[in-house]
Structure 1
Amino acid sequence: MASETTTEDPTRTAPRRDVARWLFLPMGAAAALFGMLPWLATGAGLPLQNLWEGAPGDAPFVLLPFSQYAVSLIAALLIVGALAAGVVGRALRAATAKGATALLLVGVVVVQLVAVAQTAATVHAGLQVGEEATVYVVGLTAGAVFIVLVGVCALLLVVRAPRGGALIGLVIGAIALGPWTSALIVPFGSVSVEPPAALVLTPWIAPVLAGAAIAWAGVDSVGRVIAAVATVIVVWVAPALLTGVSSALGTRVYANSPGDMLDYGVNVFGMALLIPELALRPILATVITAAVGLGIRMLIARRSDSPHPVAS
């Protein structure tokens, strides 16, 4: 009796692949919402606005904390959401499925742009009419859109780039995780008589994660070595830059003097960048974590390569 042969019907497997690919769209949206978690957990009431028209009353619901005092938090909420999507995309090999990366990206960007638009419209509707209020809303909106683009770059690097390129995307996310975690521990706008002990650990999040990312990527090629050096530089410079920008925008004394505000921000940036007590800690933490991770990776590789004794 001749054996029967069965062939797989391609029309039956194609829909399954489509469903799996389309799942990256809600994954991206969920990651974007996850990034906003520290703000949404507070109830997402609009922070007090210096230019608010009339009595503050009940704070309207906004998806982002538009305020000159929350610039670093806005950046953290958007970038961490993009990073989460990037890590999920790389873990699930989105780069190997046609269109999966694009769907993941659309899920993130649509949610984040909706959040920016909803917040900007709500804030603009409640502010006093005038040039100063317009500049305020436009500035925060443009800054938020720029951060969305930074997150897009980080996501694409993590999902599609070789390990050296993915390392750069990971360190961008690691920088944002510091203020993101701080906002989880001490919600924005809350008053704490004594800061929680866990808050002491947040400055170490970026350098430790950056060092771990260097160990994951390795340093066995010129490109990866360059990426590792760039990672250390980013861990050193980015927090100082964020501190300078946040300090300048959050100082009401210079609100009507952009030149003085810029000078103040540059001075704060220089101090945060060059004072040894502040600059050396993240650099050393990154290098030490990377060295330990690379050492562990080397030991594991040697064990796997060593010949196993043959039983007689």
Structure 2
Amino acid sequence: METHSVPATARALVPYFILGVASATIGLLPWILTGMRLPLQNLWASATLPDDMPLVLLPFSQYLLTLIVGVLVTGSAIAGIICRLSKPRHPRFALTAVAMGTVGVQLTATLQTANTVGDGLLRNSAAELYLTALLCGTIASILIGLLVLVLMAKAPAPGAVAASSIAAVCCGLWLEGLLFPIGSLTTPSAVALTLVRWSPAVILGVAVGIAGLKSVGRVLAAVFGILMLWVAPALFTAISVGGGTRVLAYQPAAMAQLGAEVFLNTLHPTLSTLVPLAIAAAIAVLVQAVSKTVRRGRLSRVTLR
């Protein structure tokens, strides 16, 4: 009996591993659709045309730091959502199999990209620092994504809402990469701009509305989500400006200082930063009202029977 149970359990976990692989691949879709050609590098060892740059599985570039975060965390969030929606039917170790599939793809992409970029960069301290910074940021994104996956899959409502808020802001980055591909010369449509701008607020509002505010934990999770919706855009702007300033490529301290200044300046409350918060709150109220109405309708039908 025991000798047959291990293979049977392993076979039952294969679909969950595949789910993780598929989710991580969907996360990488905005980069895959560009052709996965490594962007030109300021510290590349030899003069190379854009079309002759190697193929890589992640967009390693100081100009695409937020896209790296978006594709990795969003892939993990997709896996977590699917796990939560199918929660009653999970066999033992299902979440572990999903996480292994997801993180396995992401680590493979990281190693392939780091090796390829490392082989082509100059052999100096600036290039080493550049590659190390990209690697550290990528690993941090994978770990954040893993946390989001686990919380969305198994945590009580407050934890799931907190994870959803992180996923929401990263989904905005993912959508931006998908709808406005790198190197595209087409003018963004109004619909695409609207999706990118308001999708994080909508996702957060739906998550808070479904969870409700029936406990202190849920209220705190909702507050955390609102803070994420306010702080994250400023943080991403600071990362993009600081990391993408070519003249400071050899001055990491000055780069960090510029990023901090941009973050503080962008963090000031303005109409553009407050409107998403209001939209998230309005959607949360609407979703909660609809949920209550649906529950009352079900209860009345049961009572009539």
TM-score for the superposition, normalised by structure 1: 0.90
The change in CA–CA distance for 1:309 and 1:259 in structure 2 (over 3 A counts) is closer
SS in 2 for 1:69: coil
Partner of 1:252: 246
Code of the residue aligned with 2:87 in structure 1: it is R
For 2:190, which of 166, 182, 197 is the aligned residue?
197
CA distance, structure 2, for counterparts of residue 127 and residue 212 of structure 1: 45
Unmatched 5+ residue regions in structure 2?
none
Give the RMSD, CA atoms, in angstroms: 2.3
How many positions carry a matched residue from both structures? 302
Structure with bigger gyration radius: 1
How far is 1:12 from its partner? 9.2
CA distance, structure 1, for counterparts of residue 89 and residue 118 of structure 2: 40
Determine whether 1:70 maps to 2:64: yes
How far is 1:275 from its partner? 3.6
How far is 1:96 from its partner? 4.6
Partner of 1:224: 218
For 2:91, which of 91, 97, 101 is the aligned residue?
97
Partner of 2:40: 48
Partner of 2:121: 127
For 2:18, which of 26, 47, 57 is the aligned residue?
26
How far is 1:98 from its partner? 1.1
After TM superposition, the structure 1 = structure 2 runs for residues 129-278 of structure 1, keeping only pairs within 5 Å, are 129-192=123-186, 194-201=187-194, 202-278=196-272
For 1:38, which of 30, 38, 42 is the aligned residue?
30
Code of the residue aligned with 1:208 in structure 2: it is V
Determine whether 1:302 maps to 2:292: no
CA distance, structure 2, for counterparts of residue 298 and residue 309 of structure 1: 16
Partner of 2:78: 84
Contact 2:12–2:91, Cα closer than 8 Å, also in 1: no
The change in CA–CA distance for 1:304 and 1:44 in structure 2 (over 3 A counts) is same
CA distance, structure 2, for counterparts of residue 18 and residue 109 of structure 1: 18
The change in CA–CA distance for 1:54 and 1:221 in structure 2 (over 3 A counts) is same
- Of stretches 259-268 and 144-153 in structure 1, the one that deviates more from structure 2 is 259-268
SS in 1 for 2:126: helix
Contact 1:95–1:159, Cα closer than 8 Å, also in 2: no
SS in 2 for 1:129: coil
Contact 2:201–2:277, Cα closer than 8 Å, also in 1: yes
CA distance, structure 1, for counterparts of residue 99 and residue 45 of structure 2: 37
Unmatched 5+ residue regions in structure 1?
1-8
Code of the residue aligned with 1:42 in structure 2: it is T
CA distance, structure 2, for counterparts of residue 21 and residue 83 of structure 1: 19
The change in CA–CA distance for 1:275 and 1:229 in structure 2 (over 3 A counts) is closer
CA distance, structure 1, for counterparts of residue 73 and residue 304 of structure 2: 52
After TM superposition, the structure 1 = structure 2 runs for residues 2-17 of structure 1, keeping only pairs within 5 Å, are none
How far is 1:189 from its partner? 2.6
CA distance, structure 2, for counterparts of residue 259 and residue 107 of structure 1: 37
- Which structure dedicates a bigger proportion of its chain to helix? 2
How far is 1:143 from its partner? 0.7
How far is 1:49 from its partner? 0.3
Code of the residue aligned with 2:289 in structure 1: it is G
How far is 1:183 from its partner? 1.3
CA distance, structure 1, for counterparts of residue 77 and residue 88 of structure 2: 14
Overall identity of the aligned pairs, in %: 37
The change in CA–CA distance for 1:130 and 1:13 in structure 2 (over 3 A counts) is closer
